[in-house]
Structure 1
Amino acid sequence: MLPSWTENQELRSMSEKPRLIYFNGRGRMESVRWLLAAARVEFEEIFLDTREQYVKLIKDGSLMFQQVPLVEIDGMKMVQTRAILSYIAGKYNLYGKDLKERAFIDMYVEGITDLMHMILMFPFSPPEAKEKNLALITERATHRYFPVFEKALKQHGQDFLVGNQVSWADIQLMEVILAVEEKTPAVLLAFPQLQAFKTRMSNMPAIKKFLQPGSPRKPPPDDHYVSTVLKVLAEE
């Protein structure tokens, strides 16, 4: 029996490229871009520039909690960054081989996300708070978060954080290392394991391609990005 029209639509949506709907900047979508790039998955992007675009997504029922990012993948409209990332990680074999490995990946990812949240909010800091917030990011990276991963890599004795293959945790760690280095270039001086990890990850073909100019990787947020986000999300 031939597939019905509805089934055909579903089959077609399953084979289409994921579509990322967000601002033209890093924000919470950048980790999704990293993960898809590491999995060698091509994707399309739609950038939000106006309040009207955002309101239309809400009225259309596309945003479950009236929040972006939004990723259309496999016939679903996915929201909530953690849910999006865990789905992609599971789909593309970046989520460990068993529940125990997944638990460690989850713990590492949660820690990385805490540090990344500070970095994501930094561009929205008032000018008088930027110096203090930058110092806090550097302090937390060097005293709370990076020591954990330095120790984990040394004790594990493998190239990657969990098991013996690259996972979601490795990819997010690479993302946050580069994000902190943009603000504090010498941040890895006391972390030889992380220095070696960064070199290994940078040389992986998919990551190396993502780090090249012209890739979907977004530049550090500037004033235009900040103003666009505030304009689109501003409550009327």
Structure 2
Amino acid sequence: MQEKYTNMSKPKLHYFNGRGRMESIRWLLAAAGIEFEEEYLETREQYEKLLKDGVLLFEQVPMVEIDGMKLVQTNAILNYIASKYNLHGKDIRERALIDMYAEGVRDLMILVMRRPFLPAAERESNLVMINNKAKNRYFPAFEKVLSKQSGYLVGNQLSIADLQLLEVILMIEENAPLILSDFPELQKFKAKISSIPRIHKFLQPGSPRKPPPDDHYVQTAKEVLRF
């Protein structure tokens, strides 16, 4: 029964046709130059079939088939891909710093991801809160880190932390295009990471990168997961 979910040639991503928790995984695979397939969850029946087949260990998505495994839990998936493709530092010290920075980014990213699921009346005040936290807590911290580095958050090569920081910057800029105006190091960082060929390609129209979440994405997720 489970064989149909296994694809040894390309990773296969099981999630909604939207950003959510899968988007950072798409970014990471793109940065590694790895092509992948996607199977979008569009109905409750699809989700229940995955549950019945036993491929969602904790009854949650995202789920990624890779190297003969069916991995769930976003951080586990990200760390496996980052380690496999040399995007997780060169030693244990660098990995600790990368994990610390990445977790900080994800705290901010989760706030952004939750916003479309709030009642419409709360979204504007929530956006103000997100932008305030970005400007007063998270971006100053990363500005300080980058001021002591040579363009990357850790060491002298691209890591998962760099990718996630760029991802959340671009997410926030969609509603606050001038938010980096007081952060020159982050401006340089954004330009540097965005110009890396594989990242530049991922940022172009027609790539697997997903657009900002719309009402259809939100409604589909609510109907499939019943929350």
TM-score by length of 2: 0.96
Q: Larger Cα Rg: Structure 1 or Structure 2?
A: 1
- CA positional deviation for 1:151: 0.5
Q: Distance in 2 between matches of 1:54 and 1:119?
A: 25
Which one of 78, 82, 89 corresponds to residue 82 of structure 2? 89
Q: Distance in 1 between matches of 2:87 and 2:62?
A: 21
1:177 aligns with 2:169: yes
1:133 aligns with 2:126: yes
Partner of 1:4: none
SS in 2 for 1:155: coil
Which one of 146, 152, 157 corresponds to residue 153 of structure 1? 146
Q: Distance in 2 between matches of 1:196 and 1:120?
A: 25
Partner of 2:222: 230
Which one of 27, 31, 44 corresponds to residue 34 of structure 1? 27
- CA positional deviation for 1:131: 1.0
CA offsets 1:22-78 (integer angstroms, 9 cap, x no match): 000000000000000011100000000000000110110000000000000000000
1:200 aligns with 2:182: no
User: What code does the residue aligned with 1:69 have?
Assistant: P
1:187 aligns with 2:179: yes
CA offsets 1:101-160 (integer angstroms, 9 cap, x no match): 00000000110000000011000010111111000110110111111111001012x110
Moved over 4 A (4+): none
Q: Which runs of 5+ in 2 are unaligned?
A: none
* Percent of matched pairs sharing the same residue: 63
SS in 1 for 2:64: strand
Q: Which runs of 5+ in 1 are unaligned?
A: 1-8
TM-score by length of 1: 0.93
Q: Distance in 2 between matches of 1:132 and 1:194?
A: 25
Tell me, yes or no, if the aligned pair for 2:101 and 2:161 is still in contact at 8 Å.
yes
Q: State how many pairs are aligned.
A: 223
User: What code does the residue aligned with 1:93 have?
Assistant: N
Q: How do 1:5-16 and structure 2 match up within 5 A? A: 14=8, 16=9
Q: Distance in 1 between matches of 2:163 and 2:127?
A: 23
